[in-house]
Amino acid sequence: MRTQVGIVGAGPAGLVLAHLLHLAGIDSIVVENRSRSYIEQRLRAGLLEQGSADLLIETGLGERLQRECMLHDGLFIKFKGELHRLDFRALVGKSVMIYGQQEIVKDLVAARLGYGAPILFEVGDVALHDLGGPHPRIAFTQNGERREIQCDFIAGCDGFHGISRPSIPADRITVFERIYPFAWLGVLVEAPPTRDELVYTHHERGFALLTMRTPRLSRLYLQCAPDEAETNWPDDRIWEKLRLRTAGGEGWQLSEGPIVQKGITEMRSFAVEPMHYGRLFLAGDAAHIVPPTGAKGMNLAIADVRVLARALTAFYKEGREDALAGYSRVCLRRVWKVQRFSWWMTQLLHRFDDDNAFDRRRQLAEIDYITSSRAGAMTWAENYVGLPMEWE
Ligand code: FAD
Ligand code: DHB
């Protein structure tokens, strides 16, 4: 097999890239080691920045998104038992949307298969070859047979645990990393959201977040120990902690219902520089991870592939290599701003066991500042709704 751009991974990064390349008349083949139904069910992100949503709408993927998404003009921050609203529409003139990542994946897969472009599901033993030369190759096993795709370029969109990043010689990239001393327990609940906007809660016993998927499905997160198993979290214990951490304020009543799904997510900040090696370009979680607090991972993945699609289009349509040469530099400017914001929201809202009384007072003072000063609220809002794209 031969293609212009071989794409490893059918997550948001790989599928959005394949879609943008298709619209630019550039061929690609996507290889994915999981099944179609697995990637369409995988429960993950839920919050789309306005820029990410606009891109999906402008490129023909907005039909179901616009019908089913939940548009949010603000959010709530709860601390010392009191709710404070951050109105980002008033502050920075933009909104965000709730629309599940797996719904975006479904829309992207349907669009791609609809125009007859290939996604090879359930491939095994994926390996990358000749990355430093002009004809890189993707090798894999499909239905018991070893196969190969010859490419002009390879996009490594296979997430944090994929094979693309480890295919780069260790002395050609630098890793930056911070691991947090806690994790998130996430649950999906058959109950209407407690509030019609998200509630980010600071509590001395730990962080909690109330978000949603639909008007009848809530998505709730709780800070927990990093090494805890899901089996340590029977439903009763989850509700007890959620009630405790979100309590307070007039008329407050946590909306409860059957828990239909549970999962634990580790918290990590991670980035590599540069985001390419030879003809391999890394995008999304393959190149960087942010802790989920700022809801940025999927949005950052989409921003990377917008830059990559534009650079590949400049190469194929105008014979220019400068945009590909600048890919990593342009992406990393955004990556580091988003890393900073995701770290900042994480340290602002979580309980750190080794913090002393001074640190806790400082944390509360900072939340108080954010919720009572327009300048403070503005920096949260501006980053949260998504920084503008930069192309240079
Ligand atoms: P992935 O989605 O990980 O896709 C990689 C794909 O590659 C997968 O389909 C995988 O199966 C495949 N793959 C892996 N290895 C191989 C291989 N060897 N060969 C072939 N294929 C392979 N982000 C937000 O923007 N907003 C949010 O609200 C948000 N909330 C989150 C909440 C939680 C609990 C979690 C866990 C994450 C959240 N994120 C959020 C982050 C977001 O889900 C990720 O950043 C996003 O999935 C990254 O997309 P990606 O395409 O780079 O990687
Ligand atoms: C969701 C996840 C987040 O980490 C966040 O900050 C906001 C929303 C979500 O899953 O809906």
191-218 pLDDT, tens per residue?
999 999 999 999 999 999 999 999 999 9
Regarding the beta carbon of 126 and ligand 1, being less than 6 Å apart is answered: yes
Regarding the beta carbon of 242 and ligand 1, being less than 6 Å apart is answered: no
Contacts of 299 (CB under 8 A, 6+ apart): 47, 48, 49, 51, 52, 338, 386
% of residues, the chain, pLDDT over 90: 98
156 pLDDT tier (thresholds 50, 70, 90): very high
Both tokens assigned to 276: 């390419």
Regarding the beta carbon of 304 and ligand 1, being less than 6 Å apart is answered: no
Q: For ligand 1, atom 33, name the residue with the nearest CA.
A: 44
- Closest residue by Cα to residue 96 from 298, 287, 253: 298
Q: Give distance in angstroms: CA of 152 to centre of ligand 2.
A: 37
Substitution candidate for ligand 1 out of 44, 104, 304 with most atoms within 8 A of CB: 44
Mean pLDDT on 124-145: 97
Both tokens assigned to 216: 């009848």
Regarding the beta carbon of 51 and ligand 1, being less than 6 Å apart is answered: no
Q: Note the pLDDT of residue 354.
A: 94
Between CA 166 and CA 161 the distance in angstroms is: 9
80 sits in which H/E element: none
Q: Note the pLDDT of residue 134.
A: 95
Q: Note the pLDDT of residue 309.
A: 98
Mean pLDDT on 225-249: 95
Regarding the beta carbon of 264 and ligand 1, being less than 6 Å apart is answered: no
Q: Give distance in angstroms: CA of 129 to centre of ligand 1.
A: 24
Q: Specify whether the CB–CB gap between 6 and 29 falls below 8 A.
A: yes
Q: Note the pLDDT of residue 155.
A: 99
Q: What is the mean pLDDT of the chain?
A: 97
Ligand at shortest distance from the CA of 341: 2
Q: Give distance in angstroms: CA of 217 to centre of ligand 2.
A: 14
- Selecting among 19, 72, 202, 288, the annotated active-site residue is 72
- What is the torsional sign of CA 340, 342, 345, 349? negative
Substitution candidate for ligand 2 out of 221, 268, 384 with most atoms within 8 A of CB: 221
Q: Give distance in angstroms: CA of 60 to centre of ligand 1.
A: 22
Ligand at shortest distance from the CA of 14: 1
Substitution candidate for ligand 2 out of 187, 198, 264 with most atoms within 8 A of CB: 198
Mean pLDDT on 6-20: 98
Q: Note the pLDDT of residue 160.
A: 98
% of residues, the chain, pLDDT over 70: 100
Q: For ligand 2, atom 6, name the residue with the nearest CA.
A: 295
Q: Note the pLDDT of residue 181.
A: 97
- Closest residue by Cα to residue 30 from 156, 146, 141: 156
- Closest residue by Cα to residue 51 from 329, 361, 344, 301: 301
- In the chain, the domains with their CATH numbers are 5-72+96-177+268-351 (3.50.50.60)
* Region of 295 on the Ramachandran plot (φ > 0 left; ψ -120 to 50 alpha; else beta): left
Could you confirm whether 72 is annotated as catalytic?
A: yes
DSSP E strands, 99-237: 119-120, 124-129, 137-142, 145-150, 153-156, 174-189, 199-201, 208-214, 217-224
What strand order describes the sheet that includes 288-289?
Answer: 82-87, 74-79, 199-201, 208-214, 217-224, 174-189, 259-273, 288-289
Could you confirm whether 296 is annotated as catalytic?
A: yes
pLDDT digits (tens, 9 = 90+) for 157-194: 999 999 999 999 999 999 999 999 999 999 999 999 99
Ligand at shortest distance from the CA of 29: 1
pLDDT digits (tens, 9 = 90+) for 103-118: 999 999 999 999 999 9
Q: Note the pLDDT of residue 258.
A: 98
- Closest ligand 1 atom to 286 CA: 52
- What is the torsional sign of CA 268, 124, 324, 107? negative
Could you confirm whether 316 is annotated as catalytic?
A: no
State the pTM of this model: 0.97
Regarding the beta carbon of 222 and ligand 1, being less than 6 Å apart is answered: no
- Selecting among 200, 221, 277, 327, the annotated active-site residue is 200
Ligand at shortest distance from the CA of 99: 2
